[in-house]
């Protein structure tokens, strides 16, 4: 997928997430509250939490999650090298499927670094 296609998929994900939130506000608000509480600055910095989430996203093979957490990590100052190192841990844990999805991380870094 080209960088512009990744950005389109990223935007589409958030568009449909908003539609879900409008239709099912209690579920969406509960999830967003949980996410906000978990991802806030704490003993573990938010940037590191985004890197952890990215590794899990690669391991679970969740493309929208890969794009969202790559974008968030970059916006919090993570370098492409930090992102790839974190994503590479997923290869250890997920094997071949993790390796296949690290490619998506590379594409997302390209897309969101433009």
Instruction: Find the helix or strand (DSSP H, E) in which 15 lies.
Output: helix 3-23
Q: Which tens digit of pLDDT belongs to each residue from 21-63?
A: 999 999 999 999 999 999 999 999 999 999 999 999 999 999 9
Q: What is the residue-wise DSSP string for 18-46?
A: HHHHHHSHHHHHHHHHHHHHHHSSSSS-H
Confidence of residue 89 (pLDDT cuts 50, 70, 90): very high
Residue 102 is predicted with a pLDDT of 92
| Burial class (CB within 10 angstroms; exposed 0-12, middle 13-18, buried 19+) of 111 | buried
pTM for the complete prediction?
Answer: 0.89
Domain 1-10+44-114 belongs in CATH node 1.20.1290.10: yes
Q: Does pLDDT of 1 surpass 90? A: no
Residue 34 is predicted with a pLDDT of 97
Phi then psi for residue 49, to 5 deg, are: -65, -40
**C-alpha 75 chain-centroid distance:** 12
In the structure encoding, which two tokens stand for residue 21, read together?
A: 């939130």
Quick check: 6 and 111 in contact, CB under 8 A? yes
Give the separation between CA 8 and CA 69, rounded to whole angstroms.
16
Give the separation between CA 53 and CA 72, rounded to whole angstroms.
10
């Amino acid at each position: 997928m080209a960088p512009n296609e990744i950005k389109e998929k990223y935007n589409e994900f958030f568009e449909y997430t908003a539609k879900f939130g409008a239709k099912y506000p209690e579920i969406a608000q509960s999830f967003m509250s949980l996410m906000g509480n978990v991802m806030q600055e704490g003993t573990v910095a938010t940037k590191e939490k985004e890197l952890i989430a990215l590794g899990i996203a690669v391991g679970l093979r969740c493309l929208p999650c890969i794009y969202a957490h790559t974008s968030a990590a970059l916006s919090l100052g993570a370098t492409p090298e930090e992102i790839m190192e974190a994503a590479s841990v997923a290869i250890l844990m997920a094997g071949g499927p993790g390796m296949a999805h690290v490619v998506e991380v590379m594409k997302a870094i390209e897309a969101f670094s433009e």
